[in-house]
Chains A and B, each alone.
Chain A
């Protein structure tokens, strides 16, 4: 009963329901604006969605002659579930342990499981945003192509609702245990970060070990898969076995459908019960005392004199402030760097799973004309910068402390320069990683590598400035927990959509340049020149708008 009340409260707070209701009644213009923004995000991301839909269609056509079309559903289920699990780790940690409302809730006469249950539901609802673009296209393609009846669509709806439950329960259990056992140490923040990355690495390693093809037996393996009518679906769901029940519930028909659905439902329910049960015992043990800060040693007169004698320019002072806050706020660090790292790992994993993928990658990396792989690697660096929302949440992260930036005697233009510099620095963390991949794994020449890295930095520029511009125009400052500033901030999605749009435009321009000239230099000129120009335009727009925006922000 208490949990239901808490769920109601959490929904109102997390999805701004009360505020939306108020705007609807008293400030319809603002309500319509918010609605328009959601539509804008959907429209912005829809090209990627349609690309995926086309990919699913094509996969269906390939699988049709093999009689294994249900693999379309199974692979979408596996993909959506694994994404919920991997990204869920950071999200669960943020919502369960770093929400500011916990200091209000814990002293209330509530059971730990009540608080945990309500927070679990909040994360679950957000996860439907992850599941929707991956699962619904597959459900649609399979249903339409097989001429499925009403029962299929009803079962599809139920399966859709269940998809994020098991992976989220698993992520919750792992985080509950991690937080419980790292709460013993003085250096809990460091341990938690290390633990978080180890968990992520272990999950990925386990997953790809299970699904990799045995080396040296590729031919027999493939033959078995193609001959066995369930071969491919079994292979696909090895990475995430519960997906097999979900796929069978939708495709087997009759009694078997029902049995599989019941199994899937049963595992999901067991997952939730286990989270609540384990949480009842462990949640507070990981939470209480988790925010305690260790006192450092007292500074001597000499240390104090030494540490206060150096000066920096105002721009650098801002860069240093931003970097220190990023490093010392686990939520920011996990959500920016880990997300980018995860994307990189997901992209690179096929290289280590055997089955000839590494030679495929090497072939791709050696393709001619050289401009394609070089700008491709550069584009990847730019894309990674979009997944580390250093720029798209830069103003939002200041939250209530925006007053400091507004009263200090540093021209808004200089502050913007500091923020661009900071975001470029964070993005450039991808450079050494890319350099290692290009040189060691793909055997690129030093020249090509340097060219790709430099081009990557140039391509990062418009991503950073467009994302900063978006956040400057409509920063989300009224957050009450850090995870909302970065995780539940629509600017991060808008920034991602804008960045992808910019890169797509540059790709089209580069392709056209090559089509017209059949030479590489014009492609570099068009793509990199275009990126620099777009970046400069967004930067100039920021400088122009900054004085007025800094005067009005949060006021």
Chain B
């Protein structure tokens, strides 16, 4: 589903290497957790995956399409949730969802059902008629999530999706991610919440200073570390080298 080969991106005319020769394959039906300290290159990688940043080098294929050469084919197949839920303040929640439905070409009958279901899932039904300006951070995060789920994307890409969510919504999101992958689809997300990654992900990648320093299942990661107890210990050991 996601194939990243030799991906590199630098800033300040090459002075800062944000992502350096990244190679990564994520299979269909997999939940992939992308971890790393602040400034490690997680958001840069995700932005390149969804077409918000242009790679300096390397290829990035999603569902068999290249984000550089066939960006629209990729965009039709992904759902994206950015790290900060910045959306149109002056639209109501419902208007935003209808806009997303229109641009992703979700038919009316399907849209009607999915919106009702997703609003129930995130308990947003009561606020969906209000301007997004009045939403709390968590509510904005939820409406962005609903907007990105509306077309049931083949690949769901999220940057820190749990930030700002209350425990119940966070749990519902995790369940949704699992169900989504059970249908043969893929979830790729970055997080700082290591327990979530440990419990939820089929595989985990750790990026540090732009380079993928570890990638595999929890069992495989444990083999890389002296202290094999928790992901937190593994993470700290690997990123402090």
Contact = CB atoms under 8 A, between A and B. Distances in A.
Interface of A: 291, 293, 295-299, 301, 304-305, 307-314, 316-317, 320-321, 324-325, 328-329, 400-401, 403-404, 406-411, 551-552, 554-555
B101 A308 contact: yes
A338 B47 CA distance: 39
B71 interface: yes
A406 B51 contact: yes
B144 to A, nearest CB: 10
Interface in B20-66: 47, 50-54
Contacts of A305: 112, 116
Interface string B73-108: 001101010100011101110110111111111111
B128 interface: yes
6 A-B pairs with least C-beta separation: A317-B102, A409-B75, A293-B134, A328-B90, A409-B76, A309-B108
A299 B119 CA distance: 12
Given A304-B115, A410-B103, A555 B53 contact: yes
A401 B91 contact: no
Contacts of A312: 98, 102
A400 B76 CA distance: 22
A400 B52 CA distance: 12
Contact of B91 (A301, A304, A324): A324
Contact of A298 (B54, B116, B126): B126
Interface of B: 47, 50-54, 71-72, 75-76, 78, 80, 82, 86-88, 90-92, 94-95, 97-109, 111-112, 115-116, 119, 125-131, 133-134
A336 to B, nearest CB: 14
A324 B106 CA distance: 21
Given A293-B134, A329-B90, 14 more contacts: A296-B129, A304-B125, A311-B106, A311-B111, A312-B98, A317-B98, A320-B99, A321-B88, A324-B95, A403-B86, A407-B52, A408-B104, A409-B76, A554-B52
A83 to B, nearest CB: 30
A52 B17 CA distance: 55
Contact of A308 (B80, B87, B112): B112
Contacts of A313: 102
B109 A309 contact: yes
Contacts of B86: 400-401, 403
A257 B101 CA distance: 69
Dominant secondary structure at the A interface: helix
A309 B134 contact: no
A459 to B, nearest CB: 31
Contacts of B53: 555
B108 A311 contact: yes
Interface centre among A310, A313, A404 (most CB of B within 10 A): A404
A400 B82 CA distance: 12
Contacts of A551: 51, 54, 71
Nearest to B67: A551
B138 to A, nearest CB: 16
B107 A311 contact: yes
A311 B101 contact: yes
Contacts of A314: 102-103, 105
A325 B90 contact: yes
14 contacts: A293-B131, A297-B129, A299-B125, A304-B112, A305-B112, A308-B116, A310-B108, A316-B102, A320-B95, A325-B88, A401-B86, A409-B72, A409-B104, A409-B105
B115 A299 contact: no
B91 A325 contact: yes
Given A295-B134, A325-B90, A406-B52, A308 B95 contact: no
A416 to B, nearest CB: 14
Contact of B80 (A298, A309, A321, A407): A407
A383 to B, nearest CB: 28
A401 B90 CA distance: 12
Contact of A301 (B92, B99, B107, B116): B116
Contacts of B102: 311-314, 316-317
A299 B54 contact: no
B104 A407 contact: no
Contacts of B133: 291, 293
Contact of B116 (A304, A316, A329, A552): A304
Contacts of B134: 293, 295
Nearest to B119: A304
A296 B111 contact: no
B57 to A, nearest CB: 16
Nearest to A415: B103
Contact of A295 (B80, B125, B130): B130
Given A314-B102, A409-B76, A308 B88 contact: no
A308 B51 contact: no
Contacts of A310: 98, 108
A410 B151 CA distance: 14
Contacts of B80: 407
B50 to A, nearest CB: 5
A299 B95 CA distance: 13
B120 to A, nearest CB: 10
B225 to A, nearest CB: 36
A263 B164 CA distance: 59
Contacts of A410: 72, 103
Contact of A307 (B94, B109, B126): B94
Given A304-B116, A324-B95, A407-B80, A309 B47 contact: no
